[in-house]
Structure 1
Amino acid sequence: MTSFVFVTGNANKLKEVQAILAAGNGDITVTSQSVDVPEIQGTTQEVAIAKVKVAAEKLGSPCVTEDTALCFEALGGLPGPYIKDFLGNLGHEGLNNMLKGFNSTKATALCTFAYSPGPGQEPILFEGSTEGNIVPARGPNAFGWDPIFQPVELGGNRTYAEMAGEEKNKISHRYRALEKLRAYLSEKAQKEKKDN
Structure 2
Amino acid sequence: MQIPEHKLIPYIQKWVDLLPEEEEKILSAFEPVELEKKKLVLKPGEISKHIYFIVKGVLRSYFVDEKGVEHIYQIRLENGWIGDLESFFSQNPAKFYIETLEASLVLQISNGRLEQLYAEVPKLERYFRILFQKAYINALQRLNSTMWTTAEERYQDMVKENCDILQRVPQAYIASYLGITPESLSRIRKKKS
For normalisation by structure 2, the TM-score amounts to 0.28
- Which structure: greater helix fraction? 2
Q: Which has the higher contact order (CA 8 A, sep 6+)?
A: 2
For normalisation by structure 1, the TM-score amounts to 0.28
